[in-house]
Amino acid sequence: MAKFCRYKKKAGAQVIAIQLSLDTEGFTYQKWGATQTCKSGDWVVYNNGETYTIDAETFSTTYKQVSPGVYAKTCFVWAEPATTSGAIKTKEGETHYKPGDYLVYNDVDKKDGYAVDAKTFNSLYELIE
C-alpha cells in the first residue's frame, strides 16, 4: 500500500499567475485527459512549463504573492503514489493518472485533490519528515 505523506513546495518553486477578474462565464479547455472549466475569479497559472487554471478559493488559501504576478504555494500538501490508473475529480474538472503518478491533496481529508506525474512532483515537492 502506498504511503500518504505530507510535503511542501521546494524553495524557489514559484508560479506566474493572473486572476481572471473579468465579467465572463469563463471558458473550458482540454488538459490531463479531460475537459477543465475556468470561471470568473479563478487564476490562470504558468507553472514549470505548464499552463492551467486554479479555482479562486483554492488559490487564495494556498498561494501568497511574492512579487507582482509571481506566487509561491505556502501550504503543505498530502500525497501518495497511485497504484492503479484512474481519474481524480478536481474543482476544475478531472485529471487522469497512471500508476506511479502522485495523487496530491491540499487538505489531509482528501477533499481538494489533483494528480501530478512523478517526475514533476519530485521536482517541485519535498517530503516533510
pLDDT at 9 over 60: yes
Distance, in Å, from the CA atom of 129 to the CA atom of 90, rounded to the nearest integer, reads 27
Q: Which helix (H) or strand (E) holds 27?
A: strand 27-31
User: What pLDDT, in 10s, does the model give residues 40-81?
Assistant: 999 999 998 999 999 999 999 999 999 999 999 999 999 999
pTM value is: 0.89
- Which helix (H) or strand (E) segment holds residue 113: the answer is strand 113-116
Among 2-6, 59-63, 98-102, 117-121, the least confident range: 2-6
- Cα-based distances in Å from 115 to 78, 120, 121: 12, 10, 9
Taking the CA atoms of residue 63, residue 129, residue 124 and residue 41 in that order, the dihedral angle to the nearest 10 degrees is -20
Contact assessment for residue 13 and residue 26, using Cβ atoms and an 8 Å cutoff: no
Average pLDDT over residues 95-101: 97
C-alpha cell at 2: 502506498
113 touches 123 (CB < 8 A): no
